[in-house]
A and B are shown apart, each in its own frame.
Chain A
Amino acid sequence: MPLIEITDVRKRFGENEVLKGIDLDVKPGEVIAIIGKSGSGKSTLLRCINGLETIDGGSISVAGSQLLPDEVHLKALRLKVGMIFQQFNLFPHLTAGGNVILSQTVVKKTPKPEAAAMARKMLERVGLAEKFDAYPDELSGGQQQRVAIARALAMQPIALLCDEVTSALDPELVAEVLAVVRELAAEGMTLLMVTHEMKFARDVCSRVVFMHQGRVHEIGPPEDVFAKPKTPELKQFLGVQ
């Protein structure tokens, strides 16, 4: 029984059909890398799964929660799937701890002390226990992204969507974020990540999805996708002839 079921999902922006019928089933604990050229629809797919974009056709369900565009269904779905953004999107007016506490108290109505304890635990998990009282602009990009991960984890999602979570980081900060993601994967978190870190995808992912012009162009275990690309588009993308 798949955890995330994506069936014939279509999305258009005006005349521009960006997703042209995406089918993808993700099993619990799977780590899936989505690769592909800029503009191929990777971000849009993740955003659709989280309900940040409405879909024009097909269906998406996560652990039995159907994606429907009303607030009740959206909230139910978003409690199951967290999302990490390229630009971190921490709340600048709150400390790292405050960032992790807020949605727990507001959305889940968790009492403040429990939420704070959870926040400490999650910040510790991403190696930032000592930054509880720091504001986002006192943190490096890598630290901010780790806080963002802690913030999502505190909601205890069953899957995480990661959209190029290291692309906005200085090269020397990429490793610390990837280490956290790697650990999550090892702990069995279901991950769907758009990434340009091919080595990371090869090491950590159970399957790799190559998207091209709004379609899943190739899909398979990393050893197949990277070593034996079938289509000319994937060969070109990987730079092999």
Chain B
Amino acid sequence: MMEFSTWDILRNLLLAARWTVVLSLVSFLGGGIVGALLLFLRIGGNRVLTAFTRYYVELFQGTPLLMQLFLAFFGLGLFGINVPAWLAAGIALVLWTAAFLAEIWRGCVEAVARGQWEASASLGMGYVQQMRYVILPQALKVAIPPTVGFSVQVVKGTALTSIIGFVELSKAGTVVTNATFQPFTVYGLVALIYFALCWPLSKSSQALERKLNAAHRNH
């Protein structure tokens, strides 16, 4: 049997962690784009689209991410579409992230005082102008800390994709454990790497929030 040094283990885990990072970035950016789209459909005032986005968000928030991954992976398979694990993982995480970001951002838009809508309307601005020049600039500022904070959930969410066979950090942990029989060392390192990824994110989210609250002025 081969001997594995701690460095061998760590190196293998770090190589796999690249995929955790890539998947997180794809999910977060893709989810951000889809989420922004959902947000505009949601607040655009069209009843059908508003209802659609509401159900979308409820569906994705109301079911476990794991089920969504299974459905993307096996569900599409039922229709004879062969979905590789990385694609199923990417799709499910993008859609899941989009649901949460859309909801976070909707809260931020609604947090802008009603008087801002009224003042801009009374000056003759139309809906799009109000959004672009008055509401979104204010909502955006409020949205930054919770958005950065949510990215931590995305990183941790990628761990679930190991179950459908996508080889990222968690899956690599299992594989390496099977080869080394050192579960405590391996998963300890896995946890440390996750922590190294998530901790700066949650710290910066907190810092941003403090800065925003402390900011004497809102610009």
Instruction: Enumerate chain A interface residues (CB-CB to B < 8 A).
Output: 50-52, 71, 74-75, 78-79, 82-83, 85, 87, 89-94, 102-103, 106-108, 135-138, 148, 151-152, 155
| C-alpha gap A152/B128 in the complex (Å) | 20
A102 to chain B, nearest CB (A): 6
A103 touches B125 (CB 8 A): yes
| C-alpha gap A135/B119 in the complex (Å) | 17
Determine, out of B17-25, B134-142, B176-184, the stretch whose residues face the partner at the interface. B134-142
Residues in A neighbouring B216, C-beta threshold 8 A: 137
| C-alpha gap A108/B134 in the complex (Å) | 16
3 interchain residue pairs of minimum CB distance: A89-B119, A103-B123, A89-B115
| C-alpha gap A83/B129 in the complex (Å) | 18
Closest to A104 in B: B123
Residues in B neighbouring A91, C-beta threshold 8 A: 116, 119-120, 134, 138
| Choice from B118, B133, B138, B218 contacting A106 with Cβ under 8 Å | B133
A50 to chain B, nearest CB (A): 5
B211 to chain A, nearest CB (A): 15
B219 touches A135 (CB 8 A): yes
A85 touches B217 (CB 8 A): no
A107 touches B123 (CB 8 A): yes
B123 touches A151 (CB 8 A): yes
| C-alpha gap A74/B118 in the complex (Å) | 13
| C-alpha gap A135/B217 in the complex (Å) | 7
**B 190-219 contacts with A by CB, 8 A:** 216-219
Residues in B neighbouring A83, C-beta threshold 8 A: 118-119, 122
B218 touches A155 (CB 8 A): no
Residues in A neighbouring B119, C-beta threshold 8 A: 83, 85, 89-91, 148
Assess A50 versus B122: contact at CB under 8 Å? Given A87-B115, A137-B217: yes
- B62 within 8 A of partner (CB): no
Residues in A neighbouring B219, C-beta threshold 8 A: 92-94, 135
- B126 within 8 A of partner (CB): yes
A93 touches B123 (CB 8 A): no
B218 touches A137 (CB 8 A): yes
| C-alpha gap A137/B129 in the complex (Å) | 23
Residues in A neighbouring B64, C-beta threshold 8 A: none
Assess A93 versus B137: contact at CB under 8 Å? Given A85-B119, A135-B218: yes
- B80 within 8 A of partner (CB): no
A93 touches B124 (CB 8 A): no
B103 to chain A, nearest CB (A): 23
A102 touches B133 (CB 8 A): yes
Can you give 22 contacting A-B residue pairs, CB < 8 Å?
A: A50-B122, A51-B121, A52-B122, A85-B115, A89-B118, A91-B116, A92-B138, A92-B217, A93-B137, A102-B123, A103-B123, A106-B125, A106-B133, A107-B125, A107-B129, A108-B124, A135-B218, A137-B217, A148-B119, A151-B123, A155-B123, A155-B124
Residues in B neighbouring A82, C-beta threshold 8 A: 122-123
| Choice from B115, B120, B137 contacting A103 with Cβ under 8 Å | B120
A146 to chain B, nearest CB (A): 15
A85 touches B118 (CB 8 A): yes
**B 107-160 contacts with A by CB, 8 A:** 113, 115-116, 118-127, 129, 133-134, 137-138, 141
Assess A75 versus B126: contact at CB under 8 Å? Given A85-B115, A93-B137, A137-B216: yes
